[in-house]
Amino acid sequence: MKKIRTPQGLEALQNSLLQRRDSNKSCVRVCIGTGCRARGSVVVAEAFRNEIKKQNLEIPIDTKQTGCHGFCESGPVIVIGPREIFYQRVKLRDVPEIVSKTLLNGEIIDRLLYVDPTTGQKVLYEHEVPFYEKQRRQILANNGRIDPTDILDYIAVGGYQALAKAITTMSCDEIIGTVEKSGLRGLGGAGFPTGRKWRVCHKVPGDVKFVIGNGDEGDPGAFSDRSLMEANPHSILEGMIIGAYAIGANQGYLYVRAEYPLALKHLQIAIDQAREYGFLGSKIFSSGFDFDIKIIQGGGAFVCGESSALVASIEGKVGEPRAKYIHTVERGLWNEPTNLNNVKTWASVPLIINNGADWYAKIGTEKSKGTAIFSLVGKVNNTGLVEVPMGTQLKEIIYDIGGGILEGKKFKAVQTGGPSGGCIPEELLDLSVDFERLTEAGSMMGSGGMIVMDEDTCMVDVARYFLDFLQYESCGKCVPCREGIKRMLEIVTNIAAGRGKKEDMDLLQELAETIKDFSLCGLGKTAPNTVLSTLRYFREEYETHVRDKKCPAGICKDLIEYFILEDKCTGCGACLKLCPQQAIDAYGLTHTIDPAKCIKCGICRDACSFEAIMVK
């Protein structure tokens, strides 16, 4: 009988686990998150297990497979306890050496250490890597520490104690009050006060209520929800159970896109284990409270992350938003009161219950509390998951954590909030990152995507790219979104192709404002952000495209020309061999490009070792 019925029982289990787990024992933790997995970490983990067996070690060594650390670009990453030595880019052939040298003799293998690109120094421990050093990891704290497929690991780090505390010592009112007081705001994008949402849902009369965890994460650049679901699924479940108890719901749903197979697998394992231990099911912690969670797989449409479309999708209907003049908390899933939160929001709840509302409210700014998680990608040295207190400056994230722009290039803009966020220019780099400031700057918190762009980026091209995504993902129900985004794309494509007219920019502005005002759901309401923000901060770039028919960044194909610098070309022929168009001629010593044949694919430029191929 594994079921845990009392807080004392839970504590006893945790103590016995901690006792059994010698903290001085060596332990290899291999990340098998999606990023590291793609670089072969599963094989590496397996090899560790075999190698340890083969070398017939006297001291016992644990191997553990953990979820994503959020530093995927250095994968596969491993951490060796108890000293917490951090190795990155570990290959299969490194495994025997790590076992015999580091595990047995405590020797450090130099070449596997992380090198700080700014100082050139080697870093021994994970927490000293600058990427992690400046972060404040709360929600992601246990990613990479625990085995997501083992509930005991979660219990050992204090898991489910918030649930025990909430159910056995707090009233529903107290729980909601604590969440309200903490200032927690929805991390799914809109930043709606979570406590207030719970309060309304709690108050609405109804015997049947639902809670939903939104793990759809439709933003193509973001992976924080995925990472959390893969690496620490129990934290989400615990938050949902507490929320359901406070609100009075007996059934929960986790909506996760089918493109996240590992997250789905880990969540299902977590749910099964939670049932086994009695954290899900009937009479949780011997109270009168019954609750269960079911996973629903989404088909992967961006719009299905929107609350009303998500509800429709769970009901088996077409995932299409509806007007929310009657809120989901009053009439949601199957017309019953429904409380929907993002998975990161749910995972914040146990932290708040454990540490208290004041603890949480101290972190962040006046109006935005707690931490924000960003998926830092693009032209920065360190890409990965970043969790920082609300109010951290953009430049701290990009330069201190991200390690600055790749190849020492110049920063141009950063896009926050996913495809419908805005682009923020260099002048605003000291902007503090919170819900209010980002919105004022014409962007948003959104799903926590953060794409850094360097001087080689054309903002017209960026706007075109995101509009193309949005017109494809628009559900097509309402006219401004369906027809309007299409027309914005048409205009921007014309501008990028040198067919722009002067009046196009005004029409673009007018369209953007109307789409924002008149669209039915958040997709349409935010879709014009990229256009509006690039028009606001990078207007002269549009003007150059329209007036001079030139693309200053050298990106828009119709406006550029490739040519070869005579004095730099050595006539080596590397470009010539690769050109798919046979557009390069080799008369004389140097090469020339025939503009009539050139399709501007850029293969020649990449192939040239002498920087002889330029764009004008």
Partner 1 sequence: MVILTMNGVRVQAEEGSTLLEVARFYGIDIPTLCYHDELTPYGACRLCMVEVDDGRRTRLVASCLYLVREGIKVKTHTERVMKGRKLILELLIARCPNSKTLQDLASKMGLDKVRFKMENKDCILCGLCLRMCAEQMGSGAIGFVGRGQKREVVTPFREASEICRNCGACMYICPVVETQCRGIKSPGELCNSCLIITPQCSEKYGQVMCTLDSCGACVEKEKKIV
Q: Which residues bind partner 1 (CB under 8 A)?
A: 301, 303, 318, 320, 322-323, 325-326, 471-480, 482-484, 486-487, 490, 507, 510-511, 514, 517-520
322 binds, among ligand FMN, partner 1, none (CB under 5 to 8 A by kind): partner 1
The three-class DSSP label of residue 396 is helix
Angle at 613 between CA 612 and CA 616, to 5 degrees: 125
143 binds, among ligand FMN, partner 1, none (CB under 5 to 8 A by kind): none
- Residue 183 touches ligand FMN, criterion: CB under 6 A: no
User: How far is C-alpha 425 from the geometric centre of its chain's CA atoms?
Assistant: 22
- Residue 484 touches ligand FMN, criterion: CB under 6 A: no
| Order of all β-strands in the sheet with 292-298 | 292-298, 251-257, 210-215, 338-342
In whole angstroms, give the CA distance from residue 239 to residue 346.
Answer: 5
One of 72, 204, 270, 340 touching ligand FMN (CB under 6 A)? 340
Stretch that binds ligand FMN, among 5-13, 147-155, 373-381, 516-524 (CB under 6 A): 516-524
Q: Is the bond leading into 82 cis (omega within 30 degrees of zero)?
A: yes
Furthest-apart CA atoms within the chain: distance in Å? 89
Within 202-221, which residues bind ligand FMN (CB under 6 A)? 214, 216-218
**Helix/strand/coil (H, E, C) string of 572-600?**
CCHHHHHCCCCCEECCCCCCEECCCCCCC
Q: How far is the CB of 372 from partner 1 (least distance, A)?
A: 25
- Residue 186 touches ligand FMN, criterion: CB under 6 A: yes
Q: How far is the CB of 124 from partner 1 (least distance, A)?
A: 50
Using the minimum distance from each CB to ligand FMN, give the nearer residue, 47 or 256. 256
Using the minimum distance from each CB to ligand FMN, give the nearer residue, 194 or 381. 194
Using the minimum distance from each CB to partner 1, give the nearer residue, 1 or 323. 323
Q: Is 47 exposed, middle or buried (0-12, 13-18, 19+ CB in 10 A)?
A: buried
CA distances from 363 to 359, 369, 389, 433, 439 (A): 7, 6, 6, 13, 20
Using the minimum distance from each CB to partner 1, give the nearer residue, 322 or 605. 322
Using the minimum distance from each CB to partner 1, give the nearer residue, 483 or 585. 483
182 binds, among partner 1, ligand FMN, none (CB under 5 to 8 A by kind): none
518 binds, among ligand FMN, partner 1, none (CB under 5 to 8 A by kind): partner 1
One of 190, 208, 497, 615 touching ligand FMN (CB under 6 A)? 190
Angle at 76 between CA 70 and CA 77, to 5 degrees: 60
455 binds, among ligand FMN, partner 1, none (CB under 5 to 8 A by kind): none
One of 138, 339, 341, 415 touching ligand FMN (CB under 6 A)? 341
Q: Is the bond leading into 205 cis (omega within 30 degrees of zero)?
A: no
Whether the Cβ atoms of residue 545 and residue 498 lie closer than 8 Å to each other:
yes
Q: How far is the CB of 369 from partner 1 (least distance, A)?
A: 22
One of 306, 387, 454, 461 touching ligand FMN (CB under 6 A)? 306
Structure tokens at 517: 């005002």
Quick note: the x/- pattern for ligand FMN over 254-293, rule CB under 6 A, is ----------------------------------------
159 binds, among ligand FMN, partner 1, none (CB under 5 to 8 A by kind): none
Whether the Cβ atoms of residue 401 and residue 442 lie closer than 8 Å to each other:
no
Q: How far is the CB of 484 from partner 1 (least distance, A)?
A: 6
The residues, ordered by sequence, that sit 6+ positions from 456 with a Cβ below 8 Å of its Cβ are 409, 553, 554, 555
Q: Is 291 exposed, middle or buried (0-12, 13-18, 19+ CB in 10 A)?
A: buried
Using the minimum distance from each CB to partner 1, give the nearer residue, 148 or 484. 484
Within 518-557, which residues bind ligand FMN (CB under 6 A)? 521-523
Using the minimum distance from each CB to ligand FMN, give the nearer residue, 397 or 445. 445
- Residue 493 touches ligand FMN, criterion: CB under 6 A: no
1 binds, among ligand FMN, partner 1, none (CB under 5 to 8 A by kind): none
Whether the Cβ atoms of residue 291 and residue 247 lie closer than 8 Å to each other:
no
Using the minimum distance from each CB to partner 1, give the nearer residue, 433 or 475. 475
Q: How far is the CB of 487 from partner 1 (least distance, A)?
A: 5
Phi-psi bin for 125: left (phi > 0), alpha (psi -120 to 50), beta? beta
Among residues 438, 240, 270, 267, which one has the least CA distance to residue 339? 240
In whole angstroms, give the CA distance from residue 318 to residue 316.
Answer: 7
In whole angstroms, give the CA distance from residue 520 to residue 485.
Answer: 13
Instruction: Specify the amino acid at residue 85.
Output: I
Q: How far is the CB of 587 from partner 1 (least distance, A)?
A: 44
Query: Rg of the chain's alpha carbons, rounded to an integer?
Result: 27
- Angle, to 10 degrees, between the axis of helix 233-247 and the axis of helix 161-169? 10
Using the minimum distance from each CB to partner 1, give the nearer residue, 275 or 322. 322
Q: How far is the CB of 474 from partner 1 (least distance, A)?
A: 4
One of 187, 284, 445, 511 touching ligand FMN (CB under 6 A)? 187
Structure tokens at 341: 């939160």
The residues, ordered by sequence, that sit 6+ positions from 72 with a Cβ below 8 Å of its Cβ are 33, 34, 35, 36, 383, 384
The count of residues interacting with ligand FMN (CB under 6 A) is: 24
104 binds, among ligand FMN, partner 1, none (CB under 5 to 8 A by kind): none
Q: Indicate the helix (H) or strand (E) that contains 613.
A: strand 613-615
Stretch that binds ligand FMN, among 31-39, 42-50, 297-305, 354-362 (CB under 6 A): 297-305
Among residues 238, 227, 232, 293, which one has the least CA distance to residue 260? 227
Using the minimum distance from each CB to partner 1, give the nearer residue, 517 or 611. 517
Q: How far is the CB of 191 from ligand FMN (least distance, A)?
A: 7
Q: Is 588 exposed, middle or buried (0-12, 13-18, 19+ CB in 10 A)?
A: exposed
- Residue 305 touches ligand FMN, criterion: CB under 6 A: yes
Using the minimum distance from each CB to ligand FMN, give the nearer residue, 33 or 218. 218
Kindly list the residues in this chain that would bind ligand FMN in the complex (CB under 6 A): 186-190, 192, 194, 214, 216-218, 302-303, 305-307, 340-342, 345, 447, 521-523
